[in-house]
A and B are shown apart, each in its own frame.
Chain A
């Protein structure tokens, strides 16, 4: 009977992500809660219902047609009539009057449970999070015991001892429920305690109480309100349930519980009696749940990596549109990737990548380089048709062996992924399934992609792991991903990518999360794999050193566009675009210790948000060399070095003058451009 006091999981996330502000511009907690509260029709209805109920109840004597104790023996146990809209009970008392008159009392006693449960649970959670492991252990043990009590039975035993003293029983119920609240709050309180701003406050010498009040409690408010709404509903249901089995409040006072108790005795002869009270109760519980769910809804939930069936149907439509727009030419060279005028956009129309074109010859490595928010990861993921949900290719072609991958159906892509185009990603640990062994994941992929039998697949898995430089391959096959190091996991991920013998490998910042000595090993491995297998690689990175080490070609991206494309040595040794020039000048790795400059070159400001990209040169506002010629859209122009191209009208002029990007002071007034929405794209963090 005690309903599930573990919080409604439906729309809630209590992860660290939920702790951080999600919709900038609304960080003030109240504004945040308010906008969510009135964000859904259900919760608006819920708020109105509860407010109306309380108001009606408090003003009941002024407007009710009958007094709560008026008995009408001519209409006992009647259904709805003109005189008694909701019917009458066994003494002929008007149900409508009794329901509304007693609403405030019922809601009030439920609030007792809420206050005790949420108050105690929150207090315990903050204490456990602040006071260290030992205190947490003790508190957690105690709450574990509380949670493994048979709640209903205990409550009934309490009723046996103290009688049907509803406020006291609701208070004790609150104590029992507080253990569940503690469980919910603890994770969040600990996550808040581990925030760096708490460390900063500790460095300041702020005490435990100060930190809990100033930094932890405010972060818990949203959860507190959500839980309060849900527990409120639980409290009402339990009160009603107790009344139903005969432990309602003492008789004369009208109360919902008492009315249900009365109705339960007439279930078979007057079933209507249960309807009005039950319906009002159900509506009130629904209202509280709706409010709780609306407040608890995680704002920007992370996009799913496997869109729902509905989303997949949506995408199939847009793919068909692209396929209709431009048929793929059939005469492309084998294993050559040609990206033509690719644009990727969010479904609301904002473009994240615009008009990107590049080619990758077989056996070569192309680097896609740029800062976060430049669209390089989105470009890379579009090659596999693995853009996150809500993002899709808007225009252009991705030509691969006679197919336009941008217009391929999901089914067609399933034939290409792994077998022809493979992926390795930034966080090797998160790229592997934590629930299965390395061996299972690898052999399953080999069996699927190579069509080999179980026994052969195991031998091939061993061979693949050795190929990617793992010495004790047999042992690694038996391990789970959490049991191996990051470098080892990335080798496993590479082996997994190789299991279908792909001809093109898309590598999304594959070394960013690794130590620099491990990065060097992985880069060497990739180089030898390219040499041995003749596959080509699209390498997304923000590190110009990685580009210099591995890439034959490089495409520098800025604000969703390719701004410079060509051979790696000509671009890095002789950059033509001011952005490339600036990146190199800002990179401490570009300088030797002996001639390390006093100050590094900087680029003022930051990469603009996709929705703010101008139609002119997108870099002009940050460019030291920008002039009046830069206020028009700039096409890619031949750079003069081989078949290299550069998107700068002043490239030739700059090349002649031979300017350097110089270190600049930070102009105090110009750097702040307050952004209303953060970058939609998640490049490397």
Chain B
């Protein structure tokens, strides 16, 4: 995670020690001008980093700001504060030309396989697009598109077909192929498997794992499903209302959660074993976490306090800082 010593941009650390991606105190507010200043932050002071070849999972419920963070890293969302550093370069507000230089190395796989490929372009044309933008000639780009399709388990001939001729799972493989065709170091996967059925989801998760092992990729794996994250990620960051609640090694966060929210999140994820699920349900109900339906906390303090069984006046007055507890960092006064 982010350490106290900041990385000086003018003197980059040796590549091996330097994090691939570093997000520091990221703040995102929606809207512009006065609206934005008054709006509650969608992302509120989030920091984390990803080492080369590492997979970090970003977990949270709807409205937790996880997708917004992904968009900010990819330059699709304006940042209101904090910094995003990629391989020692500040990319917080990189323009289109900087993105073009970066775009081959930092790539994305999005959620909806129906909309992540242009239905009017052939698969080959979609795959070749990022290469062509980088000046690769048409013949070579086409060649590499075919190679990449084979790598993700589709025949070369698929280059001439249109996305609508493929199933959701196949389209998501094509999206993965498009992300990897430039040989990137980091791929942001925003809910990349959540629109897929179980069996196809497993296929795509395995493919992502294979490619990571093969090419030493780093992933920022954004998902609402902690079990899916747990399969792929070495470290997990748990978000609630735009703030980091807990972060640490995947096994520690998912098996032995320290923050009351993480505990609730883990306990709420049902397992397909009836006896065990009955026990988990009991455990969840005994946690005493209140429903989030009507609870919108005011600014300041812990964002989870209105639902939290441990909450006191301290939680209302003071925002808990991340501190190490067990194997993880936890933002709770009482964890």
* Direct touch of chains A and B (CB < 8 A): yes
Residues of chain A touching chain B, judged by Cβ–Cβ distance below 8 Å, are 20-21, 24-25, 27-29, 133-134, 195-197, 199-208, 214-215, 218-219, 371-372, 469-472, 485-488, 491, 515-521, 523-524, 542-549, 568-569, 572-573, 582-584, 586-594, 596, 598-603, 606-607, 663, 666-669, 671-672, 674-675, 678, 685
A-B contact pairs, 16 of them (CB 8 A): A21-B163, A196-B115, A203-B108, A205-B96, A469-B291, A472-B294, A520-B270, A543-B270, A547-B272, A548-B272, A582-B199, A594-B255, A599-B206, A672-B154, A674-B161, A678-B164
A25→B98 CA distance, assembly (Å) = 38
Q: Which of B96, B118, B164 contacts A215 (CB 8 A)?
A: B118
Contact B32 A593 (CB under 8 A): no
Given that A197-B117, A569-B274, A588-B231 are known contacts, is A25 also in contact with B61, CB under 8 Å in the complex? no
A587→B272 CA distance, assembly (Å) = 8
Contact A602 B203 (CB under 8 A): yes
A546→B225 CA distance, assembly (Å) = 14
Contact A27 B120 (CB under 8 A): yes
Shortest 6 CB-CB distances between A and B: which pairs? A205-B100, A545-B270, A544-B272, A24-B164, A27-B162, A666-B153
Residues of A within 8 A of B100 (CB): 204-206
A569→B202 CA distance, assembly (Å) = 24
Contact B231 A606 (CB under 8 A): no
> What is the chain A residue whose CB lies nearest that of B175?
A200
Contact A204 B294 (CB under 8 A): no
Residues of B within 8 A of A204 (CB): 99-100, 103, 129-130, 133
Contact A593 B293 (CB under 8 A): no
Q: Does B102 contact A (CB under 8 A)?
A: yes
Q: Which of A542, A545, A573 contacts B269 (CB 8 A)?
A: A545
Binding-face segment, B82-90, B165-173, B214-222, B327-335: B165-173
Q: Which of B75, B264, B269 contacts A589 (CB 8 A)?
A: B269
Contact A588 B294 (CB under 8 A): no
Q: Which of B61, B119, B230, B251 contacts A516 (CB 8 A)?
A: B61
Q: Does B55 contact A (CB under 8 A)?
A: no
Residues of B within 8 A of A517 (CB): 61, 264-265, 268, 289, 292
A547→B112 CA distance, assembly (Å) = 26
Residues of B within 8 A of A582 (CB): 199
Binding-face segment, B8-16, B44-52, B277-285, B311-319: B277-285
Contact A600 B231 (CB under 8 A): yes
Residues of B within 8 A of A603 (CB): 199, 202
Contact B61 A666 (CB under 8 A): no
* Chain B: minimal CB distance from A13 (Å): 16
Given that A196-B112, A672-B158 are known contacts, is A545 also in contact with B206, CB under 8 Å in the complex? no
Contact A21 B153 (CB under 8 A): no
Given that A215-B118, A545-B271, A549-B281 are known contacts, is A593 also in contact with B206, CB under 8 Å in the complex? no
Residues of B within 8 A of A544 (CB): 198, 272
Q: Which of A205, A207, A372, A470 contacts B197 (CB 8 A)?
A: A372
Interface string of B99-138 (1 = CB under 8 A from A): 1111100111011101111111100001001100100000
Most A-side CB within 10 Å, residue of B76, B120, B121, B195: B120
A672→B170 CA distance, assembly (Å) = 8
Contact B284 A520 (CB under 8 A): yes
Contact B115 A20 (CB under 8 A): yes
Given that A21-B164, A29-B120, A219-B120 are known contacts, is A548 also in contact with B284, CB under 8 Å in the complex? no
Residues of A within 8 A of B150 (CB): 668
> What is the chain B residue whose CB lies nearest that of A471?
B294
* Chain B: minimal CB distance from A415 (Å): 34
> What is the chain A residue whose CB lies nearest that of B255?
A593
Contact B291 A487 (CB under 8 A): yes
Residues of B within 8 A of A485 (CB): 293-294
> What is the chain B residue whose CB lies nearest that of A571?
B274
Contact A516 B269 (CB under 8 A): yes
Contact B76 A589 (CB under 8 A): no
A371→B196 CA distance, assembly (Å) = 9
Contact A590 B114 (CB under 8 A): no
Contact B206 A488 (CB under 8 A): no
Within 8 A of A (CB), among B257-309: 264-265, 267-277, 281, 284-285, 289, 291-294
Residues of B within 8 A of A588 (CB): 202, 205, 225, 227-228, 230-231
* Chain A: minimal CB distance from B299 (Å): 20
A305→B170 CA distance, assembly (Å) = 31
* Chain A: minimal CB distance from B126 (Å): 7
Contact B118 A197 (CB under 8 A): yes
Contact B199 A602 (CB under 8 A): yes
Contact A674 B61 (CB under 8 A): no
* Chain A: minimal CB distance from B89 (Å): 14
* Chain A: minimal CB distance from B14 (Å): 27
A519→B205 CA distance, assembly (Å) = 24
Q: Does B250 contact A (CB under 8 A)?
A: yes
Residues of A within 8 A of B285 (CB): 524
Contact B110 A199 (CB under 8 A): yes
Contact A674 B165 (CB under 8 A): yes
Q: Which of B133, B251, B275 contacts A594 (CB 8 A)?
A: B251
Q: Which of B76, B161, B206 contacts A663 (CB 8 A)?
A: B206
* Chain A: minimal CB distance from B79 (Å): 15
A370→B119 CA distance, assembly (Å) = 28
A663→B200 CA distance, assembly (Å) = 13
Residues of A within 8 A of B197 (CB): 371-372, 542, 607
Interface string of B179-199 (1 = CB under 8 A from A): 000000000000000010111
A210→B126 CA distance, assembly (Å) = 14
> What is the chain B residue whose CB lies nearest that of A490?
B293
Q: Which of A195, A606, A666 contacts B167 (CB 8 A)?
A: A606
Q: Which of B99, B114, B163, B284 contacts A202 (CB 8 A)?
A: B99
Given that A28-B162, A197-B116 are known contacts, is A572 also in contact with B272, CB under 8 Å in the complex? yes
Residues of A within 8 A of B228 (CB): 588
Residues of B within 8 A of A472 (CB): 294
Residues of A within 8 A of B118 (CB): 195, 197, 214-215, 218-219
A196→B172 CA distance, assembly (Å) = 12
* Chain A: minimal CB distance from B275 (Å): 7
A519→B292 CA distance, assembly (Å) = 12
> What is the chain A residue whose CB lies nearest that of B150?
A668
Residues of B within 8 A of A573 (CB): 273-275
A675→B271 CA distance, assembly (Å) = 34
A452→B116 CA distance, assembly (Å) = 51
> What is the chain A residue whose CB lies nearest that of B95?
A205
> What is the chain A residue whose CB lies nearest that of B116?
A196
A590→B120 CA distance, assembly (Å) = 39
Most B-side CB within 10 Å, residue of A371, A520, A663: A520
A469→B294 CA distance, assembly (Å) = 12
Contact B155 A685 (CB under 8 A): no
Contact A133 B32 (CB under 8 A): yes
Within 8 A of A (CB), among B62-97: 62, 71, 74-76, 96-97
Contact B133 A206 (CB under 8 A): yes
* Chain A: minimal CB distance from B222 (Å): 14
Given that A204-B129, A545-B269, A594-B251 are known contacts, is A521 also in contact with B108, CB under 8 Å in the complex? no
A519→B237 CA distance, assembly (Å) = 22
Given that A196-B112, A197-B118, A524-B285 are known contacts, is A583 also in contact with B74, CB under 8 Å in the complex? no
A201→B121 CA distance, assembly (Å) = 13
Q: Does B209 contact A (CB under 8 A)?
A: yes
Q: Does B178 contact A (CB under 8 A)?
A: yes
Contact B254 A593 (CB under 8 A): yes
Q: Does B29 contact A (CB under 8 A)?
A: no
Q: Does B241 contact A (CB under 8 A)?
A: no
Most B-side CB within 10 Å, residue of A27, A203, A572, A591: A203
A596→B271 CA distance, assembly (Å) = 13
Residues of A within 8 A of B165 (CB): 24-25, 27, 674-675
A524→B102 CA distance, assembly (Å) = 48
Contact A203 B103 (CB under 8 A): yes
> What is the chain A residue whose CB lies nearest that of B102?
A205
* Chain A: minimal CB distance from B27 (Å): 20
Given that A28-B162, A582-B199, A674-B165 are known contacts, is A199 also in contact with B292, CB under 8 Å in the complex? no
Residues of B within 8 A of A214 (CB): 118, 129
